[in-house]
Chains A and B, each alone.
Chain A
Amino acid sequence: MDSSFKIVHQTRPLCNYFAMAGNIDAQAEAQLMGLPAKVNQQLVKFDFSDTGRINSMGIALLLRCFKRIKEEKKAEIQVMQVNPTNTMLFRMTGIFLLAAATKE
């Protein structure tokens, strides 16, 4: 399985949808730091169903990305399809303070 990181962006009705595929680590920096500029809706959904490992650098990048979306775009962030290990990781590192978990 290809574990390199990719973001697939779709504009859906009234929201921006980003599917996060692969491992999220230092290699994801350029893509994640460029992501806030693509946000043009008040609701942003992140789909983690194809996400592999997220290490501490990946967490740092997600926190930076989410903070910029909230501060610069004033948008609400939702995350979905997060596996159990990454859910634990999100709980203990403050990701869920910036983004709400949702099923859809």
Chain B
Amino acid sequence: MERNATILAIFADSADAEAMSNYLAELPEVISVTADRSLATTLEQLAFNRIEPALTIIPGTLYPESMPLLVRYVRCCFPNTEILVIAQASAPPPSLERFMADQVRHLIVEPQQISVAAGGDFPLSLAIGNLIEKRQWTIDQYVKEGTEIREFKLTFSEEKEKIIRTLEDAIVGDSPEHEMLRHKGALLADEMLENAFYGAPRSDDGMKMFRKGERRQILPQENIAFRFAFDGETLAMEMQDGWGSLGADLVLEYLAKNSANMEAADDAGGRGLFIIWRFLDQFHVRVAPGKETLIGGHLRKSSQIPPETLHGFHITTG
């Protein structure tokens, strides 16, 4: 099937456009637009000419704070376009409540201005490729080609500690960065496994079926599998379950709630998901309601994005 590969890139100003020009120059069909007074007319003209971008890239300098209605307006002109927001880690974090309202499900947070030469475009190029080609995020996309992917199909909850030890042992190195990566990797694996064991299984009325920490057998139809890969720099990991009980809107709601009000965090749901998101450099969730949930992402040994700040995410369905 032929894909519509047109990308619409909306920039706040010329400096914003310049920061991404090197990368976008290599893409075949990019329409660059500056958000000046003629923005509405320009978008309407594109729509009138039946140009329907598959992807619209919006900078965090514009949305949501400066132009909160921008996504709604873009979707009025181009109902089927995917929205990808790129924010700078050094800038004030964007409001996730607005993301929730507009169902914006793709965010990349760059530690500094995107530098192609420094390999800083990696999450961006991956996101553009996946969104244009309608591909899902998978852990092999995060690590060097040929890196072994370890897979564990779970049958008992007690297998958690053995899997975590295997992951820690795979991160070989004595530097403080290796030690930190082992700690973070172990915590992420713990949260992912606990979520699959105790968060995902729900009864018909949506209630949790198991209490956290209880010993339980995993039934084959639950299809719970944990995978990880480490290429010496990047640790990629993902957890799959056959419940599909996590809604895409609920994911954003959990991230927003836990980001906004730490004092109420004791009572907020989704703290485990929030921790996974903040400890990964880039986080992906794929939900097929009633069939499957996949939670994953990657973390670099030399990660520059502290967990205390907002991190990128991709939330997809189907």
Interface residues on A, range: 20 to 34
Cβ of B266 < 8 Å from any Cβ of A?
A: yes
- Among residues of A, the one whose C-beta sits closest to the C-beta of B271 is A56
Beyond A26-B213, A84-B180, A85-B183, whether A56 also contacts B275 by CB under 8 A is yes
A57 CA / B278 CA spacing, docked (Å):
16
Task: Kindly state whether residue B116 has any CB partner on chain A within 8 Å.
Answer: no
A74 at the interface (CB under 8 A from B): no
The range of chain B's interface size is 20 to 34
A85-B263 contact given A56-B272, A57-B213, CB 8 Å threshold: no
Q: Which of A27, A83, A89 contacts B275 (CB under 8 A)?
A: A89
Across-interface contacts of B186 in A (CB, < 8 A): 53
B20 at the interface (CB under 8 A from A): no
CB contact between B161 and one of A3, A55, A97 (< 8 Å): that residue: A3
Asked whether A63 is an interface residue with its Cβ less than 8 Å from the other chain, the reply is yes
Query: Is the C-beta of B44 less than 8 angstroms from some C-beta in chain A?
Result: no
Given contacts A53-B190, A56-B194, A92-B308, contact A64 B183 (CB under 8 A): no
Partner of A92, one of B180, B213, B262, B266: B262
CB of B102 within 8 A of chain A? no
Extra contacts besides A67-B266, A93-B271, A94-B265 (19): CB < 8 Å:
A3-B161, A25-B190, A26-B212, A55-B191, A55-B272, A56-B194, A56-B275, A59-B265, A59-B275, A63-B265, A84-B183, A85-B183, A85-B184, A91-B307, A91-B308, A92-B262, A92-B275, A97-B262, A97-B263
Q: Which 5 A-B pairs have the closest CB atoms?
A: A26-B213, A94-B262, A56-B272, A85-B183, A63-B266
**A residues 62-86 touching B (CB-CB < 8 Å):** 63-64, 67, 83-85
Interface 1/0s, chain B 160-192, versus A by CB < 8 A?
A: 010000000000000000001001101100110
Determine how close the nearest CB of chain A comes to the CB of B159; give it in whole angstroms.
Answer: 15
A-facing residues in B261-295 (Cβ within 8 Å): 262-263, 265-266, 271-272, 274-275, 278-279
Q: Give A67 to B267 CA distance when docked, in angstroms.
A: 12
Chain A residues with Cβ below 8 Å from B180 are 84-85
Closest chain B residue to A57, Cβ basis: B212
Interface residue A19 (Cβ < 8 Å from any Cβ of B) = no
Q: B306 within 8 Å of A by Cβ?
A: yes
Tell me how far the C-beta of A86 lies from the nearest C-beta in chain B, rounded to whole angstroms.
8
Q: Known A3-B161, A26-B212, A57-B212; judge A94-B184 contact (CB<8 A).
A: no
List 13 interface pairs A-B (beta carbons < 8 Å), by A numbering: A25-B190, A26-B213, A57-B194, A57-B272, A59-B265, A67-B266, A89-B187, A89-B307, A91-B308, A93-B271, A94-B265, A97-B262, A97-B263
Chain B residues whose C-beta falls within 8 Å of the C-beta of A3 in the assembled complex:
161
Cα distance A57–B212 when bound, in Å?
8
Main secondary structure of the interface of B (DSSP, over half): helix
* Known contacts A3-B161, A85-B180; A55/B306 CB under 8 A: no
Contacts of A27 on B, CB cut-off 8 Å? 213
The answer to whether A88 has its CB under 8 Å from any CB of chain B is yes
- Which residues does chain A contribute within 8 Å of B274, judged by CB atoms? 56, 92
- Whether A43 sits at the interface, judged by CB under 8 Å, is no
A97 CA / B265 CA spacing, docked (Å): 11
Contact of A94 among B161, B187, B263, B275 (CB under 8 A): B263
Residue A29 CB within 8 A of the other chain: yes
Cβ-defined contact, A56 with B191, below 8 A: yes
Q: A101 interface residue, CB < 8 Å from B?
A: no
Closest to A64 in B: B266
Q: Does A15 contact B (CB under 8 A)?
A: no
